[in-house]
Amino acid sequence: MKPELVAVNGVYDFRLLGISALLAILMQYAAFEVVERARATLGLTRRGWILVGGTAVGIGLSAAPDCGIFALRLPVPVRYHYPTLLLSLLLGILSGVGGVFAAIREYKGIIQAITTSCAVGLSGGAVSYLCLRSWRMSAVVEYRWGLVLVSVAFGVLVFLLALVLANGVLRSQTPGFLRRLLSSSVVGFALVALPYSTSHAVRFSSTSVEVVSTHNFGIFR
């Protein structure tokens, strides 16, 4: 006999959404700084900026969407599967390093820029879904695949926007603090919309069957 499924709706903790927005803005501002310094160097120093700076950017890229996903509160106890969370962190770091490497290059056409945006944006957009996959709860997650595709395409557009703004800011002779902050805020708020679109691309249904798994931590209601 199949367990009875009952649709459940979540509410958002706007404090965590605010933290997610702040992390996204700081991450993008740091990305501008890293790309600027990487472009100004060559050889081993440039590789160091790409790897170390890209890793720092990737941690922020992972933390901002994850915090946005954690802002969704469901009326059922939730645990987190930390190996899956670590995988999302790794993917965020790879996206950050790839994004910095992509931003320091000179693009000869829009096709090349879009191709790069797809490669980095798809991996960055997957961070939110991996975070959601880390949830262990007495509920079934049903994906609305049409909205999933929309959210993934939105992730690609966000990185394309970041790429365009990065080139615009860094090509300026004197990119001031306000211009950097404004560009970072635009990309940051767009990035915050990724976990929001992810949570709307799924449907939750509670079940009486308790999910038992290992490597979990934390509970919230």
Residue 70 parent element (H or E): helix 54-70
Q: Is residue 2 part of a domain?
A: no
Rounded Cα–Cα distance for residues 163 and 140 (Å): 37
Say yes or no to pLDDT of 221 above 90.
Answer: no
10 compared with 100, residue with greater pLDDT: 100
Q: How confident is the model at residue 1 (pLDDT cuts 50, 70, 90)?
A: very low
Checking if the pLDDT of 17 tops 90, the result is no
Instruction: Select the more confidently predicted residue: 193 or 164.
Output: 193
Question: Is 133 within the bounds of a domain?
Answer: yes
b/e per residue, 28-64, with b = 16+ CB within 10 A?
Answer: bbbbbebbbebbeeeeeebeebbeebbbbbbbbbbbb
Question: 111 or 52: whose pLDDT is higher?
Answer: 52
How high is the pLDDT of residue 93?
92
User: Best-predicted range by mean pLDDT among 66-75, 187-196, 202-211?
Assistant: 66-75
Residue 104 lies in a domain: yes
Q: What integer pLDDT is reported at residue 59 of this predicted model?
A: 92
Domain-located, residue 32: yes
Q: Is residue 119 part of a domain?
A: yes
Q: Which residues contact 150 (CB under 8 A, 6 or more apart)?
A: 197, 201
Q: Structural domain tally of the chain?
A: 1
Question: Positive or negative CA dihedral for 22, 24, 30, 32?
Answer: negative
Residue range of the domain that includes 151: 9-209
**In a domain? residue 138:** yes
Per the domain annotation, does 47 fall within a domain? yes
